[in-house]
Amino acid sequence: MLTGKRILVTGIASNRSIAYGITKALYRYGAELAFTYQNDKLKSRVEKFAVDFNSSIVLQCDVAKDDSIKAMFDYLAKVWQKFDGFIHAIAYAPSNQLNGDYISTITREGFAISHDISSYSFVALTKASRHMLNPNSALVTLTYLGAERAIPNYNVMGLAKASLEANTRYMANAIGPQGVRVNAISAGPIRTLAASSISNFKKMQNYCESVTPIRRLVTIDDIGNTAAFLCSDLSAGITGEVIHVDGGFNIAVMNII
């Protein structure tokens, strides 16, 4: 399904990361992979993962900095002049933004950082690499239901995800004529490093599990399989979409009765 496709994966922080589940699926379906890591703390870990997926392309990239994005793609261009898309699995808000009453908690700085790292970075990566993207490339990002509904403690990250979803549509419209598709996966809650900074995350997962139509939480492999489909030509007619991979949680209400 992905043989001959070269895909760059961002946002692996551990083997629990959604990006790790996506990597497993992309590799299983035949993609050739390259990876980025945010900082030196994550370097050796991502290098080890890369070996498992038969890749030697592991590049530093902090999406908060345009120089870092440019340097990463300059380096990538030396090994891959052209490639077929990337996975954007990056988000950040200061932890003091993700706990308590939304109005009291939000700050101008928290708003700016969360939107910069969690939404702007998606188009920033695209701006810096569009000349390297083959026709039939696919860009995939990760969002959450907090973009559409008010969810306790998710707070400003919900606004940033709403921005990311609009970004997905604007990017899809702008780059579609070049043959590139852009989609988002709205994942159900999964215990990862990023999720651990959200207060009462476990409680939220227990609730989800009990009311979700499929009566289980989704896994990084569920997300990975959908990402592989979105990167493949099987999804050639889909762009600008937000696809929920949440076991149907978003379509149901009243399941506690």
Q: Which parts of this chain interact with ligand 0WD (CB under 6 A)?
A: 11, 13-14, 17-19, 38, 42, 61-64, 89-92, 117, 142-144, 187, 189-190, 192-195
For the CB of residue 5, give the shortest distance to ligand 0WD in the complex, in Å: 21
Q: Which is nearer to ligand 0WD, 40 or 135 (CB)?
A: 40
- Return d(Cα 19, Cα 227) in angstroms, integer: 10
Q: Which is nearer to ligand 0WD, 156 or 190 (CB)?
A: 190
For the CB of residue 169, give the shortest distance to ligand 0WD in the complex, in Å: 17
For the CB of residue 195, give the shortest distance to ligand 0WD in the complex, in Å: 4
Q: Flag whether 63 is marked binding.
A: yes
Q: Flag whether 17 is marked binding.
A: yes
Q: Flag whether 242 is marked binding.
A: no
> Does residue 29 have an active-site annotation?
no
Q: Which is nearer to ligand 0WD, 180 or 217 (CB)?
A: 217
> Does residue 144 have an active-site annotation?
yes
Q: Flag whether 221 is marked binding.
A: no
For the CB of residue 6, give the shortest distance to ligand 0WD in the complex, in Å: 20
Give the residue numbers annotated as catalytic, written as ranges: 144, 154
Residues annotated in a binding site: 11, 17-18, 38, 62-63, 90, 93, 161, 190-194
Binding site per annotation, positions for substrate? 93
